[in-house]
Amino acid sequence: MGFPPLLSFTILVSKYSDKMMKDSAITKYLSRIKINNCHTDLLGLTALQELHTINIPFENLDIIVGRKIDLNHDHLFKKIISQKRGGYCFELNILYAELLKSLGFSTKPILCRVWLSNPKNIPPRTHLAHLVDLEGRTYITDVGFGGLISRVPLDINVSTPVNDQVGMVRILPFADQQFMIQRLVEQVWMDQYSFEKVIISEEDIEVSNYYMSSHPKSHFYYHRFVGRNTADGRIGLFNNKMSIRKGIKVFDKKRVDYGQEWIETIKREFLINLDFSKKELKLLFEEKEHLI
């Protein structure tokens, strides 16, 4: 029996995209990303994406200490909004999509293949982002990518390069219902990630989240990733190596020793308040044996 053809993306994933926030939760969320209110237009979506990536960091530290990555709304809201933690793509973008929907935006989840470092083989679909239908156009919006992805929503049907305040980005169609996001780095267009405009299920999201948070082949399983955008660049911490960018260019690097200095750095630079036990803090700085 043959497989059905790829379908145009016309439905939502109910479990993660249909949750509606109460007004009090919306107010608390908007306060967390330092925005008072916004309209359901492109300017509003742009402001939400930019301020989200500045005020809520990308981080995978729960994975390092062995915590299960729970995608339940109440857990995500408590962790990211109330406890002022960050998260990785599945956590950040699921909660962000719930905010968008509650504000009146129409969102559709997509799973993406990450092409950083020029992988030799086709990478799996392990990154979550969302499409937003707005004013007759379709935009991709993403607040959970750990790399130099666009700081602004991109119209998936426009290939003209866009200045996102720190550099040039573009989105290109390269096959039927498939698109690639690229960033201009030292005059070379570098692939960031690709996606297909097709239906995905909540199980697709769960499987990808489980793989990325628990499988020994996942880079998140071994390495500590922390990062957030700044007004004019980005700061990132990969294990104990911190980089500071203006635009997309690194202008400063420093080593951050594991222990109290590391904890103070992520609190000061990345706005993260850790809630780890003594046992978890010990696991945070232990090097895992590579199983694969």
Query: Mind listing the pLDDT tens digit for each residue in 44-98?
Result: 999 999 999 999 999 999 999 999 999 999 999 999 999 999 999 999 999 999 9
pLDDT at 119 over 50: yes
Selected residue with higher pLDDT from 101 and 146: 101
Distance CA 208, CA 107 (A): 19
Count helices and strands in the chain by DSSP H and E runs: 10, 13
Confidence of residue 288 (pLDDT cuts 50, 70, 90): confident
Residue 131 in this model has a pLDDT that exceeds 60: yes
Residues 179-191 have a mean pLDDT of: 95
Q: Rounded to the nearest 5°, which phi and psi values hold at 12?
A: -100, 160
Burial call 124-146: b when 16+ CB within 10 Å, e when fewer: bbbbbbbbbebeeebbbbbbbbb
What distance in Å separates the CA atoms of residue 119 and residue 135, rounded to the nearest whole number? 36
**Residue 85: which of 282, 271, 216, 250 has the closest Cα?**
271
Residue 279, pLDDT above cutoff 90: yes
pLDDT of residue 17: 53
Task: Return left, alpha or beta for 182; rule: phi > 0 is left, psi -120 to 50 is alpha, else beta.
Answer: beta
Residue 52 is among the residues annotated as catalytic for this protein:
no
Please give the Cα distance from 35 to 56 (Å, whole number). 13
Per-residue pLDDT band at 291 (split at 50, 70, 90):
low
Q: What's the confidence (pLDDT) of residue 292?
A: 58
- Judged by DSSP in three states, 205 sits in helix
Helices (H), the chain: 14-17, 23-32, 42-55, 61-64, 73-76, 89-103, 202-214, 219-222, 260-270, 278-284
Q: Are 230 and 54 in contact (CB under 8 A)?
A: yes
Residue 78 has a CB neighbour count (10 Å cut-off) of 12
Residue 82 three-state SS: helix
pTM to 2 decimal places:
0.92
Q: Note if 176 is an active site residue.
A: no
Domain ranges of the chain: 14-284
Q: What share of the chain is helix, strand, coil (3-state, %, to 5)?
A: 30, 30, 40
| Residue 62 among the catalytic residues | no
pLDDT of residue 149: 84
The catalytic position among 112, 127, 130, 191 is 127
Q: Which of 52, 62, 89, 164 is catalytic?
A: 89
Catalytic residue among 52, 112, 142, 164: 142
d(CA 50, CA 259): 31
Structure-token pair, residue 90: 């599945």
Mean pLDDT, range 249-265, rounded to an integer: 96
Question: pLDDT-based confidence at 290, cuts 50/70/90?
Answer: low
Compute the CA torsion angle 165, 87, 80, 263 (nearest 10 deg). Answer: -100
CATH class for the domain made up of 14-284:
alpha beta
Residue type at 149?
I
Higher per-residue confidence, 53 vs 11: 53
pLDDT bucket at 222, cuts 50 / 70 / 90:
very high
